[in-house]
Structure 1
Amino acid sequence: MPIHRSTFARPLVAIAVVAASCIAALAQQPPTPSRVRGTIEAVDGDMLAVKSRSGEDFKLHMASDMKLVGIVKISLSDIKVGSFVGATTVPGPDGSNNAVEVHVFPEDMRGTGEGSRPFDLRPNSTMTNATVAESVAGNDGHTLLVKYKDGEKKVVVSPDTPVVTYVPTEKSELKPGAKIIAFFKKLPDGSYEATRISVGLNGLTPPM
């Protein structure tokens, strides 16, 4: 009795269709957030209630080894040649990289996230963490040439661009009304654990 190859092929085709459907379904699921920018609404022990900038509510448990830093405003003139900075940029109409914000890392954070990558602060924004190689003052601010391991970029910083840096701070600054950027992970039980928080001091909203 002849054996038809299609007899064996049908189950394989069915399996392939099911697998493709599962992959497509997974691809359509929104990614689990790992960062929230928002305002602390309440503090209960090690639990923070946070309202994100887009209006979502988060409950974040602060990990015992959570890293905490404060963010304070500094001036454009505080950016020096040799400073290790992070700059969020968006494309200008002339093709320039216009800074939305610049944060200067303290020396003990030099090298953090070095490189340039897409960022989620604004549409088409890019985050570049690099060392300032040149700083040229102009009528409309400064143009920074920043260099990182795999390249370099010219960043235009206007006088209105927020410039900030990180400073040590205490948990007492995590209070209702404080503006924060919290990095967190999702635990097996579905809850969120904050592993790192940057908090704006003196009423500052972290610009990054």
Structure 2
Amino acid sequence: MTARINLSHISTIVAAAIAVFCFIGFALAQDKPIRVRGEIVAVDGPMMTVKSRDGKDLKIKLADNVSVAGIVPMNIGDIKPNSYIGVSAMPQPDGSQRALHVHIFPEAMRGVAEGFGPWDVRPQSTMTNATVAETVAGVDGQTITVKYKDGEKKIIVPKEAPIVTYVPGSMADLKPGAKIFIVAAIPQADGTFTAARVNVGKDGLTPPM
């Protein structure tokens, strides 16, 4: 089922998602934040324990005004010409990109972190934030041409590639068993981290970013 965004709450997710994809590079070098992908093990007040995808237990203190964005599934048909999307992908020998996932930005976020650069969901993976110029259905999924200010990319979106978007979230979504993605967890002197924004998969979904 296609998820729909309540536009009256768009400001809630804009702040959260802007942090997720103001990246293309582009680390925040001063504080050397890390990206955290994993599963919530426990929540004790503002302190969240996360089992990261590499098996580490991380203690993450949430900001008092933490922004929470939910991640929900969408369909290939929701990617239309003029959609503004982000795609993590693997470079192909012919110069195209094979999508690992696609996220569809809300209209209010058009232009956020526009461009192409390295990503770390897999070794050698990339991220492209761009506007869809053309979509063509194929046997193996969809071929999408996207354009950004410095160029364009041809992206193959296979049928198995997750397609997601953002919905408003809350602290109630941050519970044991939920899968999360934090783009900027800031290391602290005591070995913990702080986070101002958390993206959490709804209904068991693992954020594919």
Distance 2:108 2:62 in 1: 23
What is the aligned partner in structure 2 of residue 185 from structure 1?
Answer: 186
**Bigger Rg over Cα:** 1
Deviations 1:107-150 (A, max 9, x none): 12222211101001111100001111111111221111111111
What is the aligned partner in structure 2 of residue 151 from structure 1?
Answer: 151
What is the aligned partner in structure 2 of residue 16 from structure 1?
Answer: none
Equivalent residues in 2 for 1:16-55 (5 A)? 32-55=32-55
What is the aligned partner in structure 2 of residue 60 from structure 1?
Answer: 60
Q: TM-score, normalised by structure 1?
A: 0.81
What is the aligned partner in structure 2 of residue 202 from structure 1?
Answer: 203
Q: TM-score, normalised by structure 2?
A: 0.80
Once the two structures are TM-superposed, the CA of residue 188 in structure 1 deviates from its matched residue by: 5.4
2:207 aligned counterpart, secondary structure: coil
Equivalent residues in 2 for 1:1-208 (5 A)? 32-182=32-182, 183-187=184-188, 190-208=191-209
Higher relative contact order (CA 8 A, sep 6+): 2
Distance 1:138 1:120 in 2: 28
Deviations 1:4-39 (A, max 9, x none): xxxxxxxxxxxxxxxxxxxxxxxxxxx955210000
Distance 1:67 1:148 in 2: 28
Kept after mapping to 1: 8 A contact 2:179/2:207: yes
Once the two structures are TM-superposed, the CA of residue 65 in structure 1 deviates from its matched residue by: 2.7
Distance 2:164 2:179 in 1: 14
Counterpart residue type for residue 84 of structure 1: Y
Deviations 1:51-89 (A, max 9, x none): 001101110010123221000011111111111100011
Kept after mapping to 2: 8 A contact 1:87/1:99: yes
Distance 2:111 2:95 in 1: 27
Once the two structures are TM-superposed, the CA of residue 187 in structure 1 deviates from its matched residue by: 3.8
Kept after mapping to 1: 8 A contact 2:90/2:100: yes
Distance 2:177 2:191 in 1: 26
Counterpart residue type for residue 47 of structure 1: M
Kept after mapping to 2: 8 A contact 1:71/1:166: yes
Kept after mapping to 2: 8 A contact 1:185/1:195: no
Distance 2:157 2:32 in 1: 33
Share of identical aligned residues, percent? 55
Once the two structures are TM-superposed, the CA of residue 50 in structure 1 deviates from its matched residue by: 0.3
Kept after mapping to 2: 8 A contact 1:102/1:161: yes
Distance 1:95 1:154 in 2: 8
Task: Note closer, same or farther for the CA distance 1:57–1:33 as it changes in structure 2 (3 Å cut).
Answer: farther
